[in-house]
Structure 1
């Protein structure tokens, strides 16, 4: 599918204008490097879903075993590997906070997999998110996601990535100028953008995604 990058950029700017906020017309278009395989997205979603349980008091050892049984270690970041080597009480408040932010990235990734159909930048993560990902308590694994195995088309994913990129600029610019805005949360936009950028950057590791604006 051929992408018209300039047209998509202009569409994002129109959407942002409808939200009543400003965009930066000088921002370049996003480089498109291809689409990550659905199997990789599913594996990453599974790992992150397990890590979220740690944020809500699950013992890291339990999650470590769950991920190991599914042979998903290669989809983990160094940060996550370090967390899984700790006792529950050794995980710091800042680490727990970082894991809680995973909910936003997961919300974006299940949208990419066409499981989540309600993905709006100004709306919070849905209460049904944990029903969309493998459940550790029920000992579900990544195969529950393979039954769906529907990745949205390239155009849809690129358009959302472009929109979040430009919204992220607005959030950062507002903070630098000391302008208070209530429509968008910078952390939410940033975490979702990282997930979307990762999907269209198949050769880049999760922690290496460039989130500059």
Structure 2
């Protein structure tokens, strides 16, 4: 459902206060906003969120040794082969790509799990929560995509709540990179790689509509450099 986006100014103020409490650098006053007053927002459809989590789960499984034949068989049964991005396709089929980078998608899955109501929080100080893997398709036991959807019964969060956390992670992404550049202590157990993965997932999950927003971006089109 499309709704009005929250007022971005108090949301940003809250994000900056959170950075201060974490002891992180705070960006300048001209740091870009994620959205503008008057924009509308909506979440990706539930089925699209579930499909992306399922695909990333297969990518993770491949990075930890799942045979390519088994991965493709699962995706074919789930009718999700077309959901693979080109880099994911090359990795799943040909083992082509950086295994470490694909393994980092665990943090993106964690963030999407939060959006879908599968995890209770997304604390930037903590790594992906214990029990996350039990909430994903059980590939070892041969659980199908359809069976997982029936077992899980996801309940996506209110889109304004997701947008507020996106703004926080947008600021955190800058702050963690700046802290690492300046060799400052980080507030928890994760680094900028994990924060960036979570921001990636949140940016993909929320769709903004307004005069300065493009059409919804594909997964690989999310730009974390801005």
What is the TM-score with the length of structure 1 in the denominator? 0.90
Distance apart, 1:206 and its partner CA: 0.6
Q: Give the corresponding residue for 2:149.
A: 145
For the pair 1:163 / 2:171, whether they are aligned, the reply is no
Distance apart, 1:22 and its partner CA: 2.3
For the pair 1:14 / 2:22, whether they are aligned, the reply is no
Q: Give the corresponding residue for 1:136.
A: 139
How many residues of Structure 1 are paired with residues of Structure 2 in the alignment? 207
Q: Give the corresponding residue for 2:33.
A: 29
Question: Is contact 1:133-1:145 (8 Å) kept?
Answer: no
Residues 176-198 of structure 1 deviation map (CA, whole Å, 9 limit, x = unaligned): 4x333222511010001000000
For the pair 1:182 / 2:176, whether they are aligned, the reply is no
Residues 132-191 of structure 1 deviation map (CA, whole Å, 9 limit, x = unaligned): 111111222333235423100011100111000001111222344x33322251101000
Higher share of residues assigned strand: 2
Distance apart, 1:21 and its partner CA: 1.6
Question: Is contact 1:42-1:142 (8 Å) kept?
Answer: no
88, 92, 106: which is aligned to 1:84?
Answer: 92
Q: Unaligned stretches of 5+ in structure 1? A: none
What is the TM-score with the length of structure 2 in the denominator? 0.85
RMSD: 1.8
Deviation larger for 102-111 or 132-141: 132-141
Q: Unaligned stretches of 5+ in structure 2? A: 208-214
Question: Is contact 1:47-1:76 (8 Å) kept?
Answer: yes
